[in-house]
Amino acid sequence: MANSAEGSTTHETHHVAESHADHDHHHELGFWRKYVFSTDHKVIGIQYGLTSLLFLFIGFTFMMLMRWQLAYPGEPLPLIGWLFSDETMPGGVMLPEFYNQLGAMHGTIMVFLGIVPLAVGAFGNYVVPLQIGAPDMAFPKLNMASYWVYFVGGIVMLVSFWVPGGAAQSGWTSYPPLANIVMTGQTMWLIGMVFLITSSLLGAVNFLTTIIQLRADGLTFFRLPFFVWAQFVTSFLLLLAFPPLEAAGVLQLMDRLVGTSFFMPSGLVVSGEALDVAGGGSPLLWQHLFWFLAHPEVYVLILPAMGIVAEVIANNTRKPLWGYKVMVYSLIFLGFMSFIVWAHHMFITGMGTAISGFFQITTMIISIPSVIILSALLLSLWGGSIRFTTPMLFALAFLPMFGIGGLTGLPLGLAPTDIPLHDTMYVIGHFHYVVAPGTILALFAGIYYWYPKATGRKLNDTLGKLHFWGSLIFMNGIFLPMFIQGMAGVSRRLYDGGQIYEFAEGVVHYNEFMSISAWLLAVAQIPFIINFFMSIWKGKEVDENPWEATTLEWTAAPSPPVGHGNFETIPVAHRGPYEYSVPGAATDFTPQNQP
């Protein structure tokens, strides 16, 4: 291939193990450099994975506490209620302020500290270099930095619970003027976000450079696994959508600390007193800047999930993906479009019909590529001899769950139907269907699929299936009733779940059922946690390619891959990513690196 002439620097060092001895001055890495401040993408990927799983657990715990208040408003929390301070839950009864803090931090933690770091930081880091036949990421030190910056951001967010007035309480969207006038916690939120944004930017630059520059010989763009494509487009979204939020964050920090009025309109009165600010600012400015990030952000949440599902489906149907190229084109188109739909979150702000019309049209257009990708994945099942492995179960469940989430988004994308539904539980139902039974199930699929590569052992299937059915059923138990509550008019973010409203009478008692589902969902994670740790020692040992897959991470690297450099020999790609069941081939899978 074209690059082999120039690339002599690396391709000479075919035997990584040998070159180690020659010029690797730190080949005897100490504990700290090996496991804590490592520059190896595999270690960093695992660090991201464990940290983000921990944050997912923390975010989920917040919600489980809130669900007690929603199911039994004003009743003291049994068993563990006494653990909380008088500022948060006096006598075990949750204060409204604390409810708001938990809500804001649940959203923030789940999105920015849980899903994205798991989907991009963990899976992207671990799998992308292996799938493209690269010895590591393009900038290993930057990679380490991005993990630690993320870590610090997470700590700042958690610590904010202990500053005077507690953590941020204006929702994960932090709308001003409210977010401008609340206590210190919001400042901590902004500082934490600056860290998280910086981490994402470093990561995005690294992923893009890696994918563009470090593809193995013969691995052209249209031979990349769909997962790599998904990470590629995701990185572009992170790279270009996050900075405007960073700008907005800086402006909000100025408002809070220096007293400027970027987001403060003139004549604002708070608790009967006129605020002493210059005024002339606009709360809507924040919403525009925020959603300019946050709409692309929702695709950051879903695209890596689609990538994982595509890998698992191709592998377990034993046939090529249906319409791989169309899927890639849809992905790219989706990436572009996601930058011009943001104001569909703002239909009730009085933007005017022309602007509103524009965003309704773009929103309808962007749903086309999403539907194409989903349909292609669905059609890929057709005529396959499906193996119902544990990862495949999660991947299969993703399809209808994401379908529900996407379809319920359509009425939200049209102003006439969105206006009554905006800020109701319906919206909460919509996006949780895409992110929870959608993305999270896909991420589980990824864990079950790649765990053997990372550890050399398989996760237990019985426990896996228990985990799967529990998660699927209870997630639906939580989120399905939200649509009905929302259509009845119940707003989101209500401290009592809507009890004081007469119109909510018929649906407010669903809250108990939903809360019990949430707690049972926690129980359903126990088999997973046991499985995850037990299998490190007890899992069935596997060879390099237990799933009989075609892509390079399985066919060219041992399980787990070589410590530094991944491959004993840097592979060369000779074919596309999904050559399953090729007529005339010796096996039903033809590895990408098979000449």
Partner 1 sequence: MDIPYTITPRADTGVYNAKLGVWLFLASEVMLFGGLFSAYIFLRIGAPEWPGMIHGESFARASDILNVPLATLNTMILIGSSVTMVLAWASLLLNRFDRYRLYMGLTFLAGLAFLVVKAFEYGSKFEHGYLPAESNFLAIYFTLTGLHGLHVIGGMVVNGYLLGPGAKMWKTKPAQFINRVEVAGLYWHFVDLVWIFLFPTIYLL
Binding residues (CB under 8 A) for partner 1: these are 1-3, 5-7, 9-11, 13, 16, 19-20, 24, 134-136, 138-140, 201, 204-206, 208-209, 212-214, 239-248, 250-251, 254, 258-262, 277-278, 280-282, 285, 288-289, 292, 564-565
Taking a C-beta distance cutoff of 8 angstroms, is the pair 470, 552 a contact? no
Q: Which of 149, 251, 301, 327 binds ligand HEM (CB under 6 A)?
A: 301
- 7-15, 205-213, 294-302, 375-383 -> range binding Cu ion (CB under 5 A): 294-302
Q: Smallest gap, in angstroms, from Cβ of residue 429 to partner 1?
A: 31
Q: From the list Cu ion, partner 1, ligand HEM, none, which binds 5 (C-beta under 5 to 8 Å, kind-based)? A: partner 1
d(CA 240, CA 247): 12
Q: Which is nearer to ligand HEM, 301 or 478 (CB)?
A: 301
Q: What is the DSSP-derived secondary structure letter of residue 175?
A: -
Q: From the list ligand HEM, partner 1, Cu ion, none, which binds 9 (C-beta under 5 to 8 Å, kind-based)? A: partner 1
d(CA 238, CA 183): 29
**Looking only at Cα atoms, what is the longest distance across the chain?**
81
Binding-site size, ligand HEM (CB under 6 A): 23
Residue 196 is encoded by which pair of tokens?
A: 């998280």
Q: Which is nearer to Cu ion, 106 or 295 (CB)?
A: 295
List phi, psi (to 5°) of 541: -70, 145
**Residue 116 CA from chain centroid, whole number:** 3
d(CA 27, CA 139): 19
- Which is nearest to 116 in space by CA: 69, 70, 154? 154
Q: Smallest gap, in angstroms, from Cβ of residue 378 to ligand HEM?
A: 15
In DSSP terms, 167 is beta-bridged to 185
Find the Cα–Cα–Cα–Cα dihedral 309, 310, 316, 318, rounded to 10°.
170
Q: Smallest gap, in angstroms, from Cβ of residue 292 to partner 1?
A: 7
The reply on whether position 53 binds ligand HEM by CB under 6 A is no
Please give the residue whose beta carbon sits closest to ligand HEM in the complex.
409
Q: Smallest gap, in angstroms, from Cβ of residue 115 to partner 1?
A: 21
Q: Smallest gap, in angstroms, from Cβ of residue 564 to partner 1?
A: 5
Where b means 16+ CB within 10 Å and e means fewer, 518-531 reads beebeebbebbeeb
Q: From the list Cu ion, ligand HEM, partner 1, none, which binds 431 (C-beta under 5 to 8 Å, kind-based)? A: ligand HEM
The reply on whether position 363 binds ligand HEM by CB under 6 A is yes
Taking a C-beta distance cutoff of 8 angstroms, is the pair 191, 208 a contact? no
- 50-58, 132-140, 414-422, 539-547 -> range binding ligand HEM (CB under 6 A): 414-422
d(CA 52, CA 579): 33
Q: Smallest gap, in angstroms, from Cβ of residue 267 to partner 1?
A: 14
Q: Which run of H or E residues covers position 170?
A: none
d(CA 567, CA 577): 18
Q: Which is nearer to partner 1, 424 or 593 (CB)?
A: 593
In DSSP terms, 274 is beta-bridged to 269
Q: Smallest gap, in angstroms, from Cβ of residue 201 to Cu ion?
A: 21
d(CA 334, CA 302): 11
For the chain, what percentages of helix, strand and coil (3-state, to nearest 5) are there?
65, 0, 30
Q: Smallest gap, in angstroms, from Cβ of residue 343 to Cu ion?
A: 9
Report the SS3 class of residue 79: coil
The reply on whether position 67 binds Cu ion by CB under 5 A is no
Q: Which of 295, 422, 430, 432 binds Cu ion (CB under 5 A)?
A: 295
Q: Which is nearer to partner 1, 292 or 347 (CB)?
A: 292
The reply on whether position 41 binds ligand HEM by CB under 6 A is no
Q: From the list partner 1, Cu ion, ligand HEM, none, which binds 419 (C-beta under 5 to 8 Å, kind-based)? A: none
Q: Smallest gap, in angstroms, from Cβ of residue 418 to ligand HEM?
A: 5
Return the residues of window 340-359 that contact ligand HEM according to CB under 6 A: 344-345
For every residue of 58-121, DSSP letters joined together read HHHHHHHHHHHHHHSTTPPPTTTGGGS-TTT-GGGPPPHHHHHHHHHHHHHIIIIIIIHIIIII
By CB under 6 A, name the binding residues for ligand HEM. Answer: 173, 298, 301-302, 344-345, 363, 367, 370, 406, 409-410, 412-413, 418, 421-422, 427, 430-431, 434-435, 439
By CB under 5 A, name the binding residues for Cu ion. Answer: 295
